[in-house]
């Protein structure tokens, strides 16, 4: 039984939804040694989140951004917490809806994702900067 | 310390929210050997999701479907990704809101769920077909 | 490799979003022995949930409550499951949106949270009472 844990930063992304599967994997080559287990991928922030969705057509990512901006509107007048601008409180809400960790099976040295699944960084701030990630793989 | 990992398909379900706790457990009898640990239940898709909710009154499942259809409306005109019909992009969005994995404690050989908790398969497509699941149990 | 598992109840909270990081940690002093691993924090209910968000300004918690009450409105006429009042079905929906477990890396004997991250109990019922939690820490 092994634990592999790595902490690193992702390259800064613009506001929106971005596929980061390969960038994350580049930080954890040790995954190749794990035959069966799980990977916890955790983002150490409250205004950016992680999700799994389609890894092919880019319009999934832009439609995701469009929908979340409508479901959590920046021009609503009911937010108190807007010190850092209209994308402040909305980013906190989007983060809690999407979540701050992914938990993915590891099988035969690889993330056992479905054919169409990729890992998205969801950058909710207009200027979020680099985001810190912790990956913890537990398995045999 | 043990890792038990199983990959299998669920029976196809109609669009909506369905309790699948017993069907999942039928694939992992080995859970009985785990005194303390966790179970990761992962769905390998981007248009169906997993959640935990009430295992009793069926109106919880139908109200869940009604609410998600209103919160993520198929007749909105702002989606670009609709090649496979009006339930295409909405299914991706619902999947990211609800999530693709559950992580449940295992205690005394059983999923340590609350009295009223059951596992739901959330089938967001009109014709989703059979859905692939990976369960990974880690524990002693 | 170790598994530490504890089951306990949180003090009852009023409806809304509440920081419970310290109360949870007070139940798992054994975390200090874990150098690298993960903690699964699971809530055994279908009308209260767990999320991670900002641990500083209280207006994040009140805005969160305000937004969820608008996104999942109690005065909608499309719910069937309202036997226990207008906060019945809405609590189930909010629970599935926010989720029933958190999975957080453990590093050097501590939860490896970001500077601004805290654990929220999201109490969706008007009178929810005490909520049961199971924490499972797996690591070396």
Distance from CA of A93 to the nearest CA of C (A): 6
Beta strands in chain A (DSSP E): 2-10, 16-19, 36-43, 48-54, 101-107, 110-111, 117-123, 131-139
> Which one of A114, A120, A121, A136 would you mutate to disrupt binding with B, by most B Cβ within 10 Å of its Cβ?
A114
Per-residue pLDDT at B25: 98
Per-residue pLDDT at A18: 98
Average pLDDT for B98-109: 98
Chain segment C16-27, per-residue pLDDT in tens: 999 999 999 999
**Contact residues, chain C, for A72 at CB < 8 Å:** 67, 71
Contacts for A111-114: CB closer than 8 Å, 24+ residues apart: A111/A21, A111/A25, A111/A31, A111/A39, A112/B7, A112/B42, A112/B44, A112/B134, A113/A21, A113/A52, A113/B44, A114/B43, A114/B44, A114/B45, A114/B46, A114/B132
d(CA A36, CA A1): 10
Per-residue pLDDT at A75: 96
Q: Identify the CA nearest to C69 among candidates A100, A79, A48, B58.
A: A79
d(CA C100, CA C58): 22
Of C37, C51, C57, the CB nearest to A3: C37
Cβ neighbours of residue A89 closer than 8 Å, sequence gap 6 or more: A79, A80, A81, A82, C59, C60, C63, C67
What value, to the nearest 5°, has the Cα angle with vertex B17 and ends B134 and A99?
Answer: 60
Test C89 with B60 for CB contact under 8 angstroms.
Answer: yes
Q: Classify the phi-psi angles of C85: left when phi > 0, otherwise alpha if psi is within -120 to 50, otherwise beta.
A: left
Chain segment A12-23, per-residue pLDDT in tens: 999 999 999 999
Per-residue pLDDT at A132: 98
> What global pTM score does this model have?
0.98
d(CA A80, CA A84): 11
Chain C's closest residue to A88, CA to CA, is: C60
Chain segment B39-89, per-residue pLDDT in tens: 999 999 999 999 999 999 999 999 999 999 999 999 999 999 999 999 999
Per-chain mean pLDDT for chain B: 98
What value, to the nearest 5°, has the Cα angle with vertex B77 and ends B76 and B79?
Answer: 90
Test B46 with A37 for CB contact under 8 angstroms.
Answer: no
Report the share of chain A in percent with pLDDT over 90: 99
Chain segment A22-67, per-residue pLDDT in tens: 999 999 999 999 999 999 999 999 999 999 999 999 999 999 999 9
B115 — pLDDT class (breaks 50, 70, 90): very high
Test C96 with B51 for CB contact under 8 angstroms.
Answer: yes
Q: Identify the CA nearest to C112 among candidates C103, C121, C120, C101.
A: C103
Residue pair B120/B19 in contact (Cβ under 8 Å)? The answer is yes
Chain segment C40-88, per-residue pLDDT in tens: 999 999 999 999 999 999 999 999 999 999 999 999 999 999 999 999 9
In whole angstroms, how far apart are CA A20 and each of A5, A49, A78, C52, C85? 18, 12, 33, 22, 43
Test B104 with C101 for CB contact under 8 angstroms.
Answer: yes
**Residues in A lying within 8 Å of C, measured between beta carbons:** 1, 3, 5, 7, 40, 42-46, 71-72, 76, 78-81, 83, 89, 92-93, 95-97, 99-101, 103, 132, 134, 136, 138
**Contact residues, chain C, for A5 at CB < 8 Å:** 36-37, 105, 107
Q: Residue A9 is encoded by which pair of tokens?
A: 């930063």
Distance from CA of C106 to the nearest CA of A (A): 9
Per-residue pLDDT at A48: 98
Per-residue pLDDT at A9: 98
Q: Identify the CA nearest to A121 among candidates A16, A28, A38.
A: A16
**Residues in B lying within 8 Å of C, measured between beta carbons:** 1, 36-38, 51-54, 57, 59-60, 62-64, 66-67, 70-71, 97-99, 102-107, 112-117, 120, 138-140
Chain segment C86-116, per-residue pLDDT in tens: 999 999 999 999 999 999 999 999 999 999 9
**Contact residues, chain B, for C132 at CB < 8 Å:** 114
């Amino acid at each position: 039984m092994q634990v592999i844990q790595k902490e690193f930063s992702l390259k800064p992304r613009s506001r929106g939804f971005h596929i980061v599967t390969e960038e994350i994997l580049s930080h954890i080559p040790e995954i190749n040694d794990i035959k069966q287990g799980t990977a916890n991928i955790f983002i150490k922030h409250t205004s950016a989140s992680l999700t799994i969705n389609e890894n092919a057509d880019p319009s999934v990512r832009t439609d995701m951004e469009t929908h979340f901006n409508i479901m959590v509107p920046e021009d609503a007048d009911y937010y108190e917490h807007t010190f850092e601008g209209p994308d402040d409180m909305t980013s906190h809400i989007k983060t809690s809806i999407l979540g701050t960790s992914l938990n993915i099976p590891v099988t035969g040295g690889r993330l056992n994702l479905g054919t169409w699944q990729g890992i998205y960084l969801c950058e909710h701030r207009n200027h979020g900067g680099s985001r810190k990630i912790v990956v913890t793989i537990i398995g045999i």
